[in-house]
Structure 1
Amino acid sequence: MNAEAIKATLPRDLMASVVVFLVALPLCMGIAIASGMPPAKGVVTGIIGGLVVGWLSGAPLQVSGPAAGLTVLVFELVQQYGAAMLGPILLLAGALQLLAGRLKLGCWFRVTAPAVVYGMLAGIGILIVLSQLHVMMDAKPQASGLDNLSAFPAALWAALPFAGDGDGLVAASLGLLTIACMWVWDRLKPQRLRLLPGALLGVAAATLLGLWMGLDVRRVEVPDNLADAITWLQPADLLAFADPGLLVAALAVAFIASAETLLSAAAVDRMHQGPRADFDRELSAQGIGNMLCGMLGALPMTGVIVRSSANVQAGARTRVSAMLHAVWLLAAVVLLAALLERIPVASLAGVLVYTGLKLIDLKALRQLGRYGRMAMLIHVATALTIVATDLLTGVLVGFALTLMQLAWQASRLKINVVQDGRRVELRMQGAATFLKVPQMSRALAGVPQDAWLYVPMEHLRYIDHACMELLEEWQRSNQGNGARLIIEPRALVRRVEGGRRQAAYLGTLPEGN
């Protein structure tokens, strides 16, 4: 980029970077807390996502950082293996992403049924809400969604003044204030101030109220030195890969992070008229970023639609905006640590609750209904399985249901027998596979033994050897009665199993032209 181009785009990129920073700061810290990690870990991931991934990104206007979509999985991994093992998992997950990008597999990570994706996001949203409701009351979240749900009544009772000390209710009021500010701002914000994020206003209002009233609530802990938030990966930690569970965890992180990143990149492409995203390059950049996060003991990252959309709406023109927002994050932690430590944890939990509620997109569920009840069933089953078990199991259930639907659709076959004197048409629509041999046998049993049987192919997507042999057998059995089998060879070439050679052979059936 030449000097004139930089001069023309820098003012817009500078303004956009400030807006993205204001959106990213509370989210980075809130996502870290929701993941069971110190807030500074989320800021470190945001800095890497801006400076490194922003520079290498294949989607210049996309902003990367810690994402709500991985919060549940990271929390489960930290609870199961400990925070130290998150480094090796991210190192391997990032290496898998980098390898996939170099092998040009970016497009394949987007081959995911929308019902599964929306169901995954809804399940994540439910889990975030269930866990962060406990954090809003300054209580510790449980390890699973069902545990959080079952423990909520007791936690709510303990937060009440006549049942406990009442501190939980005080903290919850700050979280509710944050949610109310975000909700009101999203609906009533003036056009001139539309770029000011509601999350920042909500956190600022809760912080000021807490300080003014001197409320005794849990507050954010930020290290005096950012280097204290970095936990370098030790060579001995790599021995943990002897545990197959860590390998599965790395695969899960790589897949979910890649899917969320590329779906976000596709959405960002629809928001602007600039260069389109290079998905393979973006995947490679995310891999490098996650490998660095693993080496520094930070959180995993993805391309994040909330920050990316704010970047586009603020008028960003180049990748400089994403890189500058990381500079402001770094400056905030280094220069404003004392101010950040005034923020109530309950307020950041409120930000996450509001974000989780937006992930439970009922509008997306209704839109899936246009494609049939099965799509809605896959969405709901994926979400509920994630809540009842874990994220990976839920996604696998969604994929299994999608494959079952695909198999069922591929094997559907409608058969009609239309008779006009001696001429009989066997009209088939769909796919004629070996699973439909009994159905075809019943239809052929009703055809007169001396009929001229025409089998049109224009509405048939596919026919396998079992069904063709059944037709041949009908021809041989009734040939002595004057029966004839008539199939159009050209149409058969495009549909029969075995390609042109097999179709040419079948075209030589008696009277087959």
Structure 2
Amino acid sequence: MSGDRAGTVARALRPVLGLLPRRADYAGLRRSWPRDLVAGVTVGVVALPLALGFGVASGVGAAPGLVTAVIAGVVAAVFGGSSLQVSGPTGAMTVVLVPLVAAHGPEVVYPVAVLAGVLVVVAAVLRLGRLLAFVPWPLVEGFTLGIAVVIAAQQIPSGLGVARPEVENAVGAAAVAVVRFAAAPDWVVLGLLAMSVVLTAALPRLHRSLPASLLAIAVVTLVVELSGAGVARIGALPSSLPVPALPDFGNARDLIGAAAVVAFLAGLESLLSARVADGMSDVPRHDPDRELFGQGLANMVSGLCGGLPATGAIARTAVNARAGASTRVAALSHALVLAGIVYAASDLVGRIPLVALAGVLLVTAYRMVERHTTRAVLTSTRGDALVFVLTALCTVAFDLVTAVEVGLAVAGVLALVRLAGTARAVPEPLTDDGVDRATEHALLAGQVLAYRLDGPLFFAVADRFLREITATTDVRVVILRLGALDLLDATGARVLGEIVEHLRREGIEVLVKSDDAEHRRLLTAVGTLAPLVERGHVFATFPEAVAHAAEHVAAPAARGQERVRAGR
């Protein structure tokens, strides 16, 4: 009995056991650990101001943003499905959190993070991560281009030494910042930005293993310290992490809707980020279900420890990939660096100029976009180019969720249009598939017509099929061959019934050849086959249908001859 119980428990846990960490996650670590550590330090320095900034922007303060980067960064790195993914608070998530905080107060983000994490874990157990395979390539590339533009635009105010404008859209804020800089230019800040950009872009050309981002930040910081230039710095940091506490779930029912939106965004942004990262390195591709599992756990633990909802962050992930990371040790190192900064080096890191970070991220955004890939998408098909452009524009103008919704909707419509174009009703010769010559001769001039229905017969093409086939009025029998149908839905099945009824009213008998069990089941369920079955007009083979058609044509002729003989 105990053995049966153990077997039941094992089967119940099997979906979860397949999502747990494994030794293969750290394959090649003996060779790659120096690069992974350097990448982790680089990402940690880049992630620090972003974590603090997104915490403040969400309305809950800098400390929860830093907690999120540390806690969620560790959990997602260990349990996630990507070797390169770096998780933490993101700008897209901030857009969702701001109205929540305004409506319910700062404390609401903690239970929302936990509830969203539970939903994402459930999605992972149900293996919903595989659904991203249905996201078309042009959409992913459009998202990548759009997010690169947003990342670059976010750096313009800091890069020009201008106070961040009170404009929600990143590109709009960048435009306002440029106008303000033009009115009162600060050439020292512009020179420091150019130095950061040039060092970040040029150092890898000298030697690929150089930590260009870290060196650029160090050089710019040193120049600012020696010159005494008055530029904005990261500023004071919290000296400790907050004590973990259980969130208040008293209004959990009211937060389910918000948690579902956060869960959707966390899963979607993480999977898209991981998919983009796959194309930026030679490491093994990510496991989407494990990635969801890791992000779900990260959100749960982050909420319990006083952090924000988290997701895979494309900016930090891109820095990680470009810095030469190979294993998840880099993402772990980034989180540990942030934790160490809180306790040991907050004053030192607080001296880093924001313009140095802006230069690093500008180069990162530029490198995110593969120019040859963009050209390939734009020159492939008009539909793919449209999906690419619309997704990129919506990412820049609105947000990630809107961009994906628009991209998927347009891609879906275009796919249906292309699929509908493959559907045809093809006139068939009556001598194929073993039909003998005697039967062929019996089919007197044009009295029997056979159609082979090719491709899909679904709602998008049903009306066209109805018009084409019912235009036939000068024959006695029509044979419909359904064996070549790739797809048949309820609308298509109903239209077949309408074709049968229309032709019957015209005095034309309809015979159906179908040997597909699923097609027959659907046609029976819709009621299309009932009148045909009653008359014996459904056949498993084409020769049987043709033979029956010949009998139908020959019968009136025979009756006419009998009447002639009787008259004599």
Structure 2 length-normalised TM: 0.71
Contact residue 44 and residue 337 of structure 2 kept, 8 A: no
Aligned residue in 2 for 1:293: 302
Q: Which moved more, 1:370-379 or 1:276-285?
A: 276-285
Partner residue of 2:196 out of 172, 178, 188: 178
* Higher Cα radius of gyration: 2
Aligned residue in 1 for 2:94: 74
Instruction: Tell me if 1:26 matches 2:26.
Output: no
Q: For residue 250 of structure 1, report the CA deviation from its aligned partner.
A: 1.7
Partner residue of 1:405 out of 414, 421, 428: 414
* SS in structure 2 of the partner of residue 296 of structure 1: coil
Change (3 A) 1:126 1:171: same
Aligned residue in 1 for 2:375: 366
Which deviations, in whole Å up to 9, do the C-alpha atoms of 1:143-184 show, x marking residues without a partner?
124632552443222341xxxxx3xx4323322321222222
Partner residue of 2:75 out of 36, 52, 55: 52
Aligned residue in 2 for 1:488: 513
Counterpart CA distance in 1 for 2:250 and 2:169 is 27
Q: For residue 133 of structure 1, report the CA deviation from its aligned partner.
A: 0.7
Which deviations, in whole Å up to 9, do the C-alpha atoms of 1:351-374 show, x marking residues without a partner?
223333344555444333465222
Which deviations, in whole Å up to 9, do the C-alpha atoms of 1:10-38 show, x marking residues without a partner?
64354233222233123212433663647
Aligned residue in 2 for 1:114: 137
Contact residue 451 and residue 480 of structure 2 kept, 8 A: yes
Q: Using the aligned pairs only, state the percent identity.
A: 23
Change (3 A) 1:321 1:119: closer
Change (3 A) 1:278 1:447: closer
Counterpart CA distance in 2 for 1:443 and 1:201 is 70
Q: Which of the pair has the greater relative contact order for Cα pairs under 8 Å at 6+ separation?
A: 1
Aligned residue in 2 for 1:210: 224
Q: Which moved more, 1:461-470 or 1:422-431?
A: 422-431
* SS in structure 2 of the partner of residue 498 of structure 1: helix
Change (3 A) 1:177 1:159: farther
Q: How does 1:85-124 map to 2 (within 5 A)?
A: 85-124=108-147
Q: For residue 498 of structure 1, report the CA deviation from its aligned partner.
A: 0.4
* SS in structure 2 of the partner of residue 426 of structure 1: strand
Change (3 A) 1:278 1:212: same
Aligned residue in 1 for 2:504: 476
Aligned residue in 1 for 2:212: 198
Q: For residue 493 of structure 1, report the CA deviation from its aligned partner.
A: 4.1
Look up the equivalent residue of 1:469 and give its one-letter code: G
Give RMSD over aligned pairs: 4.0
* SS in structure 2 of the partner of residue 352 of structure 1: helix
Counterpart CA distance in 2 for 1:20 and 1:40 is 24
Q: For residue 215 of structure 1, report the CA deviation from its aligned partner.
A: 0.6
Contact residue 46 and residue 65 of structure 1 kept, 8 A: yes
Counterpart CA distance in 1 for 2:500 and 2:291 is 54
Q: Which moved more, 1:122-131 or 1:36-45?
A: 36-45
Aligned residue in 1 for 2:437: none
Look up the equivalent residue of 1:174 and give its one-letter code: L
Aligned residue in 2 for 1:338: 347
Contact residue 174 and residue 206 of structure 1 kept, 8 A: yes
Counterpart CA distance in 2 for 1:342 and 1:444 is 77
Counterpart CA distance in 1 for 2:326 and 2:493 is 59
Structure 1 length-normalised TM: 0.78
Q: For residue 328 of structure 1, report the CA deviation from its aligned partner.
A: 4.0
Q: For residue 346 of structure 1, report the CA deviation from its aligned partner.
A: 1.6
For these two proteins, the number of residue pairs brought into alignment is 483
Look up the equivalent residue of 2:86 and give its one-letter code: S
Which deviations, in whole Å up to 9, do the C-alpha atoms of 1:93-115 show, x marking residues without a partner?
32222222233333235543333
Change (3 A) 1:299 1:156: farther
Which deviations, in whole Å up to 9, do the C-alpha atoms of 1:186-215 show, x marking residues without a partner?
4x232xxx2223221221222122122211
Aligned residue in 1 for 2:17: none
Counterpart CA distance in 1 for 2:460 and 2:125 is 41
Q: For residue 289 of structure 1, report the CA deviation from its aligned partner.
A: 1.4
Change (3 A) 1:159 1:238: farther
Look up the equivalent residue of 1:256 and give its one-letter code: L
Instruction: Tell me if 1:189 matches 2:206.
Output: yes
Aligned residue in 1 for 2:268: 256
Q: How does 1:72-471 map to 2 (within 5 A)?
A: 72-74=92-94, 77-78=97-98, 81=101, 85-138=108-161, 139-141=163-165, 142-145=167-170, 147-148=172-173, 150-160=175-185, 166=186, 169-186=187-204, 188-190=205-207, 194-223=208-237, 225-227=239-241, 230=242, 235=247, 239=251, 242=254, 246-247=258-259, 249-260=261-272, 262-263=274-275, 271-272=282-283, 278-294=287-303, 295-298=305-308, 300-302=310-312, 305-306=317-318, 309=321, 313=324, 316=327, 322-369=331-378, 372-412=381-421, 413-417=423-427, 421-422=445-446, 424-433=449-458, 436-457=461-482, 459-463=484-488, 464-471=492-499
Aligned residue in 1 for 2:86: 64
Change (3 A) 1:236 1:199: same
Q: Which moved more, 1:466-475 or 1:411-420?
A: 411-420
Contact residue 275 and residue 286 of structure 2 kept, 8 A: no
